[in-house]
Structure 1
Amino acid sequence: MGALTGIRVLEVGTLLAGPFTGRLLGDFGAEVIKIEPPDRSDPMRHWGQQIDGEGLLWPVQSRNKKCITLNLRKPEGQRVFKELAAEADVVLENFRPGTMEKWGLGYEELKTVNPGIIMLRTSGFGQTGPYSSQAGFGSVGEAMGGLRYVTGYGDRPPTRVGISIGDSLAALFATIGCLLALQERNKSGQGQVVDTAIYEAVFSLMEGLVPEYALKGYVRERSGNILPGVAPANIYETKESDYVVIGANADTVFKRLAQAMGAPEMAEDERYATHNARGQNQDELDNLINEWTQSVSTDDLLQILSEFGVPAGKIYSAKDIVNDPHYLARDMILSMMHPHLGEFKLPGIVPKLSRTPGEVNWLGPAEMGEHNSEVYQGQLGYTDGQINQLKRLEII
């Protein structure tokens, strides 16, 4: 029994932002019914790295979900969707604003069949405003939300984070909005719309960006692996040419780092004794630390820093992650059997709940419409004749 057991979610949408929200809800027990058009599969089934044409992200993002097919572009499919919505708690979509309304499936229509329905709407720019009708992928949200401007090095063009961070941030905020709306519905009995814009999800994490500019005229720029004036907090090379992050910018922690380096006098040196002094001598200090780390093996360096209580960690590749004992001890690397791919490793569940923890019960449905019979006949009570008629009409 997960924390969201008893909550039914209809997931309509493709790729990342919407489906990641569905994954998070499904991890904690919600019944997530993913809807794909009968004539085309979700692109994520074949997105990114593949084995025999099967995308390796699909089982991760679609775990715990049921999969049905339904043509929402035809009136008969829209009628069926309303029947499903009447028995659901949440509708989750990430189309361009106006798409669901075009199909007669906007919030105003759905609440007539289910006043308690909660509609999660994720889009590039939100449901209102002058940009709302524009196409907006996660990459655009990252750019306009301010993240890409500050990512990279000052002497080079802006760069991206190596994952689709904008979509994932939007999914996290949509999930928070869903939980808030469910809690409020417990009091009012009414549903509502949760409107999440990708650019806003990114922008909300941009720390003091706005007051820094509005009050001081300061525009934060790209600074590579450092934050200007915050030292030491950088990556440092080891004897094996690995890279380790060390965060010792607090005065007390810097004293411990100096002791770990065998140079306790550094903590008393006026160039490094205070936060401001270290910030002013950032490059010089980083060079001193890097000279030391290059003389020490990676394992020994991490052991020394741990013994002295200095926050540090090796920059992990996928190989490091799947073999790390801490990841394994906290069930962050799960291993399940995939019907086509065999043993399949995937990320565990975040956060950890003590009494009603999340669980991965199955990987993403391997076949389109895998749960058509269970949903249409088991939940809606359709007969074999009705199912065959929907197939003839190319509704499912």
Structure 2
Amino acid sequence: MQNHSLRKNYHFFLTEELPKPEAYYVQAANAANGAANLGCPTVLIYPQRGWPAINPINLLQPFQPEKPPERVIKYYNLQDKLQVARLPMPWPIDYFKNKFTNSKTIATKYYFPFHIRATTKIVHAWNWNFIKAAIKNGIPAIYEHHHHEDKQFEPEIVNHPLFQLAVTVTDTVRESMIQHGMPAEKVIKLHNGFNRLFMERQPEKASVWREKLLQNQRSQLVVYAGALQQFKGIDILIDVAKQMPYVQFACAGGKQTEVEHYQQIAQAKQVNNISFLGFVLQNELAPLLQAADILAHPHCSGQAATFTSPLKLFDYLASGTPIVATEIPSLIDFQNTVAIAAWCEPDKPGKFATALQQVLETHPKKIDGYPDTIEFVKQFSWENRAAKILSYVDESYRPQLVA
């Protein structure tokens, strides 16, 4: 094992405090957690505001890797190898809107070169400014990018030998990045992963969820987990529920305002067999997915369908529960596999309802899940994803594994 004082870390950078429910933060926390589980000395770095940021000791020694706070561990179901470092951002940082008091500027121009660089083996970031800061400070970097953006990548950064790799989750975004100046040989498409918790069978907890959600003599449960937004197909799911009054529907995820918005839509349409649960912690979400008869993956057509990152798909698959999904570009890789029980066109509630009904008849509920699906998803662990990413990195830049 390396001497800790000389150890160089795999540093993941985020621009916002954790925990947060959005898919981006779930993805980032799990990506870092997967690298740590591989045996890489890994630190997830993010800002910290409020009273702890004012502590003079924290300001003098801002980079202090430690065990993640309990709330963050539970929120993302992190294992015990990952460390976090919370960079203090005292007032007036982020209170005044200019670049000198911007937390991203403080992190890249001050904390990184003076306090973090010496212990950094490689940087992994979703924010382009962190990538540029790494390269300019002589540190190799991996860029993660999941959305279409209409900006050119600076040639001096993307062609730099320290710029190792860009990672995205769909072919459409990869093509768009190449069109905007990213060298084709430096950008790969790599699916997201599943958290290992979702594969552990939790029949007792799943039973509690079924008891809680199944109402009015309904005996079948369809669950959706993810963002509560129109393009994700939530309005469609409400229309589907209306067509299937004998089945109970439940949606996990979304902010409180979104939950209230969709509760009102369901009431206005007189749909009383769909419940909106709000954000569900990962350790409660796993048994909820196992409690379902079917997991729904609806989605609308349009621009979002070309880049949406099917993060929930892998947690769905790990649960072993049959899935009904909409045919969208980001799911095309799974069309000729055992992953999805039934497919249907986007924007068509009637066809989605028919597909659900068909799968309810052909796929009876199994307490232990469907083994073919569980076996199929094993290739998509976060640990496998981290190993694949590092395989593209120059060997001399890879973090040294620790026992």
- TM-score over 0.5 (shorter chain): no
Interval of TM-score (by shorter of Structure 1 and Structure 2): 0.3 to 0.5
TM-score with structure 1 setting the length:
0.32
Q: Which has the higher helix share?
A: 2
* Bigger CA radius of gyration: 1
